[in-house]
Amino acid sequence: MPLKMIKNLVVPQDHFFFDLLQKQAETAHAASHELFGLMGDYRDISAKVKKIKNLEHEGDELMRAIYTALNKTFIVPIDHADISSLANALDDVVDMVDHASALLVSYDIQKPSPPMVELSQILVEQTEELKNAVVAINHSRTYGKVSAHCNRVKHFEIKADEVHAKAITALFKTTDAIAILKNKEILDCLEAATDKADKASQNISDIVMKHA
């Protein structure tokens, strides 16, 4: 392990954990963007799903780095529990995006439904706000920006709930039971990803409340 990394683990600079969390948020946004791209241009599916899987692996590496640092560090800029909770929530977003993309292949979905496309677009916009919120907690002087970003994340989560509810209602008016089950699981997965993003924004709000 490089000497600089060892030093950061023992007595980390304030930016050390924030940098890792920011990379996690960027990974969540990148994965969401790739999923939306797949939904909108449903070709070369395997290659696009692989890109998302690679981002999921990057997210796992970031989680390992964060837990390694937390286990070896006593002096942290914010509470250990807050770092852990936020890191887990951000990682969950990537995991759900990866799972949704994998289901498209596993279930041999020939064309994503309009609600699937809309939910993936919402997730892109939501993770953009989430990424900006994570950046804003890096410095106390930018804490004032956090609330607006987190409110936008909540706004998109509510919008996703509405899209999901309407899609499920319409889905159960159809008669192909197998198609209903497949499509419902993908829709549920996409909606769950927006819930995870909202959970991350709540963690960020908690951090600001404690340290502002």
* Residue 83: predicted pLDDT: 86
Range of the domain at 83: 3-211
Distance CA 29, CA 24 (A): 9
Number of separate domains in the chain? 1
- Residue 152, token pair as written in the block: 């936008």
The CA-based angle 16-22-24, given to 5 degrees, is 110
Amino acid identity of residue 19, one-letter, is: D
Q: What is the mean pLDDT of each run of 10 residues along the chain (212 residues)?
A: 38 68 97 97 96 97 90 67 91 98 97 97 97 84 82 97 98 96 98 97 88 64
> Any idea what the CATH number is for the domain that residue 26 is in?
1.20.58.220
Full-model pTM: 0.89
Mark residue 79 as left, alpha or beta (left: phi above 0; alpha: psi -120 to 50; beta: remaining).
beta
* Residue 5: predicted pLDDT: 40
Longest dimension (CA), the chain: 62
